[in-house]
Amino acid sequence: MRSGTLLVLWLAACASSTPDDGPAPAIDPTAFGPDGTAFETTELSVEARTDGFPTRMPTLVVGPRNALEDPPVVVFAHGAGWKPEDYFDTLAHLASYGMIVVAPRFDQVGSTRDDGGLVRDLQLVLRTLRETPPTIGELTGDVDVFGVAGHGRGAKQVAVVAARDERVAAALLLGLDDAPSDTDPLSAVAVLGDVAVPVAQIGYGLGIYGEPACIDAGADYTSAAASLPKGGLTFELPTAGQFDVVDTCFEAGGTVCSACAPGEEPLAARRLTRSVAVAFLGLYLQGSEGYRTWLDSDGPAGLVEDLVVTRQ
């Protein structure tokens, strides 16, 4: 889909509909999608990396099995200490609605990668994919523009790239962690107002207020909410944990998971996250107006009891 069409869709989201325009029938994205999934692990060549990190990046690619046309591409940035496979079920849910999801391993281990390096890496990934579009089976991704999504520090990475890179058409932030690194004061909140494409975020309240809390106050999704561009959406889950979206925390636990307070209903938080991701990215990458109807209705609120939705 061309960027001009995406701009029209975004402007329409910020305007009220006319009395003669009825909403499109809602598309419910909560169940696994109709397109099935296929996946492969590969490596992306990022030869322009000049700071000593490997020039081949391990990458998980998850795509639809039955899409009728070349699907849009979403690039996913994992959180610090995680890897793409930790989010596999969530990425597969997206793919089952006709999107190819590319999830590189960004080497976020301790302090080995500062925020500026992560931002440059994501921009290199977009450039590489533009030059060599991802494939899954017989399908080739449409790389005219990209959706980007990320969790925790990956959400910060995504927000900054969305403000800087015209190849981004929509950005989804999951549990934004905007704390400055030891070597880089880069701030997502400071640049969100410069983002010219649709932005939505999902905030997990126990990341800030839980025992233990794992995100510094003032560096979380609540700080970002007022900085989103016009039309930006915030879905707040006050009793959800920062790591509820990580599939491997729910399935197997582990020492990393214990760094943040778990949510009361992690399965519900995960279902809400997956559904909003499909609807938001499907609206702006595929132009499916039924997703707007679902987002604007009680669809999201029906998935969790205490959801708070705000729009800039």
Q: HEC string of 165-222?
A: CCCEEEEEEECCCCCCCCCCCCCCHHHHCCCCCCEEEEEECHHHHCCCCCCCCCCCHH
Higher model confidence: residue 290 or residue 53?
290
Residue 109 structural domain:
3-9+33-201+218-226+272-289
For 220, residues 6+ apart whose C-beta sits below 8 A from its C-beta are: 176, 177, 178, 203, 207, 208
Number of structural domains found in the chain? 1
Answer yes or no: is 120 within a domain.
yes
pLDDT grade, residue 72 (50/70/90)? Answer: very high
- Looking at the domain assignment, is residue 150 inside a domain? yes
Residue 307 in any domain: the answer is: no
Whether 28 is covered by a domain: the verdict is no
Q: What is the CATH number of the domain that holds 82?
A: 3.40.50.1820
Segment 148-176, tens digit of pLDDT: 999 999 999 999 999 999 999 999 999 99
pLDDT tens digits along 82-136:
999 999 999 999 999 999 999 999 874 444 678 888 999 999 999 999 999 999 9
* CA atoms of 216 and 254, how far apart (whole Å): 22
Residue 6 has pLDDT above 70, yes or no: no
Report yes or no on 16 lying in a domain: no
pLDDT higher than threshold 50 for residue 3: no
Give the sign of the dihedral formed by CA 111, CA 91, CA 272, CA 266: negative
Distance separating alpha carbons of residues 23 and 296, to the nearest angstrom: 10
Collapsed DSSP state (helix, strand, coil) of residue 138: coil
> Is 308 part of a structural domain of the chain?
no
Higher pLDDT, 152 or 259: 152
Kindly state whether residue 66 falls inside one of the protein's structural domains: yes
- Distance (Å, rounded) from C-alpha 91 to C-alpha 37? 10
pTM for this model (two decimals): 0.91
Contact 45, 83 (CB under 8 A): no
User: Does 177 fall in a domain?
Assistant: yes
Strands 139-140 and 135-136, how do they pair? antiparallel
Interval 186-239: pLDDT, tens = 899 999 999 999 999 999 999 999 988 999 888 999 999 999 999 999 999 999
